């Protein structure tokens, strides 16, 4: 319960530092995000159950392991989640994909859903929800609540950076869902940005600033 896995692998930490630098270009930022996302996918899938299948190599028959169960579902919280999604699909090419679109109501500051599309048969699937920044945690909390209703076998939440405030909010709502993150930063500023952070992840990956 209330698991936070910080992915301290040197390759992840090195790439994250390059992404944080304010002078890193859009194309480098996007490339690094893809690379780091593959490494995060490797870590987050490390406990997937395996089942043996009888196969034949050119030399002999053998029992060999394959990932058990239905295809994994990667769920991107729009829009910045798409950067992580693209990277993860490089090493999980058969994964199914869902999208959740949320915006923040300016009066209530609560997340409001504007888009939700996931594969039809979600029950018994392992799901991985992705969003680069766990800042206030409100979008992540809403996304997990929505996915829980589809009754998947498991849910994991993956982000690049997280703020202590976001982790607290997330785990108060969903203590049963593990968080995988490359770093836990110092704090959120008054505008809801992670400090020191890397700025606006969506703007940096899409060049929209
Ligand atoms: N979203 C971002 O893109 N960056 C932050 O620092 C916080 C939320």
Q: Residue 1 pLDDT more than 90?
A: no
For the CA of 202, the closest atom of ligand 1 is 3
Q: Residue 104 pLDDT more than 90?
A: no
Residue 148 or residue 111, greater confidence: 148
Report CA(199)–ligand 1 centroid distance (Å). 6
Contact (CB, 8 A) for 130 and 76:
yes
Active-site choice (46, 57, 105, 108): 108
pLDDT tens by residue, 189-209: 999 999 999 999 999 999 998
Instruction: Say which residues have a Cβ less than 8 Å from residue 93's Cβ, sequence separation at least 6.
Output: none
**To test the ligand 1 pocket, which listed residue (78, 82, 135) has its Cβ within 8 A of the most ligand atoms?**
135
| Cα distances (angstroms) measured from residue 1 to each of 52, 84, 171, 175, 197 | 30, 25, 9, 6, 26
Please, what is the average pLDDT of the chain? 95
118 lines ligand 1 (CB under 6 A): no
| CATH architecture group of domain 4-49+71-206 | 3-Layer(aba) Sandwich (3.40)
SS3 label, residue 202: helix
Measured CA to CA, the distance from residue 186 to residue 198 in angstroms comes to 12
Active-site choice (203, 204, 208, 209): 203
22: closest CA among 206, 204, 159?
204
Q: What are the phi and psi torsion angles at 16 (to 5°)?
A: -65, -40
Report CA(8)–ligand 1 centroid distance (Å). 21
Contact (CB, 8 A) for 131 and 82:
no
Report CA(141)–ligand 1 centroid distance (Å). 16
């Amino acid at each position: 319960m209330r698991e936070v896995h910080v992915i301290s692998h040197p390759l992840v930490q090195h790439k994250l530092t390059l992404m944080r630098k304010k002078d890193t270009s859009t194309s480098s930022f996007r490339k690094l995000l893809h690379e780091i996302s593959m490494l995060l996918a490797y870590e987050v899938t490390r406990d997937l159950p395996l089942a043996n299948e009888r196969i034949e190599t050119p030399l002999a028959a053998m029992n060999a392991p394959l990932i058990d169960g239905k295809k994994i579902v990667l769920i991107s919280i729009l829009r910045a989640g798409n950067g992580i999604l693209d990277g993860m699909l490089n090493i999980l090419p058969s994964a199914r994909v869902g999208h959740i679109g949320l915006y923040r109501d300016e009066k209530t500051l609560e997340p409001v859903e504007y888009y939700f599309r996931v594969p039809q048969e979600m029950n018994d699937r392992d799901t991985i929800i992705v969003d680069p920044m766990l800042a206030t945690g409100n979008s992540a909390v809403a996304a997990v609540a929505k996915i829980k209703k589809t009754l998947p076998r498991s849910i994991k939440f993956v982000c690049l950076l997280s703020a202590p405030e976001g982790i607290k909010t997330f785990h108060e709502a969903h203590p049963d869902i593990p968080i995988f993150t490359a770093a836990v930063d110092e704090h959120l500023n008054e505008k809801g940005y992670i400090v020191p952070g890397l700025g606006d992840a969506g703007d940096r990956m899409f060049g929209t600033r």
